Structure formats: C-alpha cells, structure tokens
C-alpha cells in the first residue's frame, strides 16, 4: 500500500501520511525520512508484527478463529511457499543505514526488495520489483532498488554477497477491521538459515491495506487478547544478521522521540533475549523513559528480569507500552480515502 508523509498544506503535521491516490507524481519524501531518502515513488509498508511466545504454535485454524471475534475474514486462506535470499555488503553500508536487500521466490515468481527506515512506529520504506531469476553476486541491482539506495546514501549498484536465507510457509487471509480499515493477516512458520545455524520463525503480520493505523492497532490488540504473542521482535533480516554476528548494537544517546525510543527499547529487549545481559541496565533506563513519556506505570520487572521476558504478564505490559506509543504518535497515523 502506497503512502507518503504530509509535508505541506493544511494537513501538515496533522494526519502525517496520505494515501498514494493523493500524491502529485513529483512529490518527494522529506529529508528526515529514510536517511534523507527523496525518491519520487516510495512505498511505505505499514504493519504490526506479533511474535509467538514459547508454547504458542499459531495454528492457522486457531488464529483465524481468534481473528473472527474482532474482524471479518473475506477470503479463503491461501498458503504461499517463500524462500528469500538476503544480501549484505562487506563494508556494512546497508547495515549502517538500516536498509536490507533480498530476492524472494514467492511460489512461481521472484521479487527483489529493498527495505529501509521510515518515520513512525509501524512504517518501513519498501521498494520492490519482479525479476526473472534469483540473482548472483555481482549482478546489477534492479534500477528501482539501486536508485532508492543511492538516494538513501547507500551507493550499491550490484548484488552483494549472499549472507543468509529464510524459508517460510505463509498462510494469508484478507480481513476487514474496525471502520473502513482493511488488512492482510499473514501467519508465518519457517526458519532463518545462516552459517549452518537455524532459527525458527513463528509469527503473525497484520499489514494495513486501507484505512487508519489505529484500526490496525485495535486488530492487533484483539489478537493479543486471545493468543500468546508479543509486539514486534527481530525482523527476518535483523535475525539473520544477528546470527552472523553482524547486527549493529545500540549506541549513542537515547532518542527522545517516542517512536524512536520504542525502537531502541525493542532492540535492547531482543539483545537480552539473545543472552546479551550487559544491556540490562540500559534496557531498564529506556523502559523508564518510555513509561514516563506515555504516562504508564513503570515496567514491572521480575526478581530475575531475564527469566520473565517470555511470560504472558510481560507480553501484556509490552502491548500496553506499544499501544501508548502508537497513540502518542497518532498524528502520524496513516489514512486512506
């Protein structure tokens, strides 16, 4: 679904995002978006990821039954086999700019994709195009990807080294949520494969297709009431880099922007889950900052904080914070006509 930030006129700073049908063809993203990305046709993906807690299998029939309590499912479930190859340059330009590139086989066709940062809690810039075959190292990058990366400050014009792969069985259904909000609900089971290591994938993705981001949030919260899931978690791209030891660690001053602070908090929690216990103090400081900004009670920490990260009680606190952050960022909620 195509969106762009509102940068001029009476809606500037009010709605934050406009649907692509409202764009002038030459409209460009502002300098703060996507590391100064300014290409004229940016696709911004807006989704909420729900990661299963241990013991939650996310069986499609159970997920769909839970979903039907809060949304109307329109289409029969479709199963898609996905195999994605993720590429990484030796100089770390992609990682430094928080961009990733992949080629993914989706049943019978192949799609090349570049993803990068965008303002807000739910948004990621996404540029994609179909290609004829899985690329080899050194093949030219498709021009839409190369142009977008160049304008984001990443001068990469050929496919770099293949770093890792993912294999996923995705079960997809289209749904109507509150009001005019429509979304795609995807259930992903699979694995990330990196350097002879394997990490399981068991997650949901709720992607906005029409309507408002707050409707998407309400749908995610309704699912979280019935399923053992937590908000966010490592993306597949970040998980592969973490397995290879290439993931950038949090550094520099903590941000004061609410959405950026949530991203820092989420990243620190993932490091704790991965055994990086030296980040505990930083994690607790950022948690206090978040709850202060959102006027929530302080995060309740178990006597052994690391042992409680996978508890339903902790997940419930995460959803409270996540919802408050999104509501505090409500001026950036995307809307479609």
Domains and CATH numbers, the chain: 48-241 (2.40.320.10), 250-332 (no CATH)
- With b for 16 or more beta-carbon neighbours within 10 A and e for fewer, the 111-122 pattern comes to ebbbbbbbbbbb
Residues paired with 40 in a beta bridge: none
Residue that has been written with the tokens 């030219």 in this structure? 140
Number of C-beta neighbours around residue 70 at 10 A:
17
8 A C-beta contact, residue 148 and residue 127 = yes
Sequential DSSP letters for 137-164 = TTPBPPHHHHHHHHHTT----B--EEEE
Which spans in the chain are helix H?
A: 60-67, 93-97, 143-151, 213-226, 236-244, 258-273, 280-293, 312-328
Here the tokens at position 12 are: 């500037």
Element counts in the chain: helices (H) and strands (E): 8, 12
- pLDDT in 10s for each residue of the chain, 337 residues: 343 433 333 222 322 333 333 332 222 333 334 343 443 345 889 999 999 999 999 999 999 999 999 999 998 999 999 999 999 999 999 999 999 999 999 998 999 999 999 988 899 999 999 999 999 999 999 999 999 999 999 999 999 999 999 999 999 999 999 889 999 999 999 999 999 999 999 999 999 999 989 999 999 999 999 999 999 999 999 999 999 999 998 888 888 889 999 999 999 999 999 999 999 999 999 999 999 999 999 988 776 777 789 999 999 999 999 999 998 876 444 444 4
Cα 172 → chain centroid: 17
CB contact at 8 A, 223 and 206? yes
Helix (H, G, I), strand (E, B) or coil at 130: strand
Threshold 0.85, pTM exceeds: yes
């Amino acid at each position: 679904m195509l969106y762009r930030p509102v940068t001029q006129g009476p809606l500037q700073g009010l709605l934050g995002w406009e649907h692509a049908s409202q764009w002038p063809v030459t409209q460009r993203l502002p300098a703060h978006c996507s590391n100064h990305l300014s290409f004229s046709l940016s696709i911004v993906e807006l989704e909420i990821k729900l990661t299963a807690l241990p013991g939650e299998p996310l069986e499609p029939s159970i997920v769909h039954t839970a979903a039907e309590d809060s949304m109307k499912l329109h289409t029969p479930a479709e199963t898609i086999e996905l195999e994605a190859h993720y590429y990484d340059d030796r100089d770390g330009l992609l990682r430094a700019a928080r961009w990733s590139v992949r080629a993914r086989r989706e049943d019978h066709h192949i799609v090349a994709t570049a993803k990068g940062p965008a303002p807000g809690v739910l948004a990621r810039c996404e540029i994609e195009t179909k290609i004829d075959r899985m690329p080899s190292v050194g093949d030219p990058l498709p021009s839409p990807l190369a142009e977008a990366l160049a304008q984001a400050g990443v001068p990469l014009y050929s496919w770099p080294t293949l770093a890792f792969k993912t294999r996923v069985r995705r079960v997809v259904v289209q749904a109507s949520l509150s009001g005019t909000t429509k979304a795609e609900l995807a259930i992903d089971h699979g694995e990330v494969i990196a350097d002879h290591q394997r990490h399981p994938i068991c997650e949901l993705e709720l992607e906005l297709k029409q309507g408002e981001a707050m409707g998407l949030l309400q749908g995610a919260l309704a699912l979280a009431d019935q399923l053992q899931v937590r908000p966010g978690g490592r993306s597949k791209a970040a998980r592969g880099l973490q397995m290879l030891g290439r993931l950038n660690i949090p550094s520099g001053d903590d941000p004061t922007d609410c959405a950026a602070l949530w991203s820092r908090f989420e990243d620190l929690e993932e490091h704790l889950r991965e055994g990086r216990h030296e980040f505990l103090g930083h994690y607790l400081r950022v948690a206090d900052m978040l709850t202060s900004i959102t006027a929530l009670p302080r995060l309740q920490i178990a006597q052994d904080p690391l042992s409680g990260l996978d508890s339903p009680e902790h997940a419930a606190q995460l959803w409270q914070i996540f919802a408050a952050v999104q509501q505090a960022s409500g001026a950036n909620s995307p809307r479609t006509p």
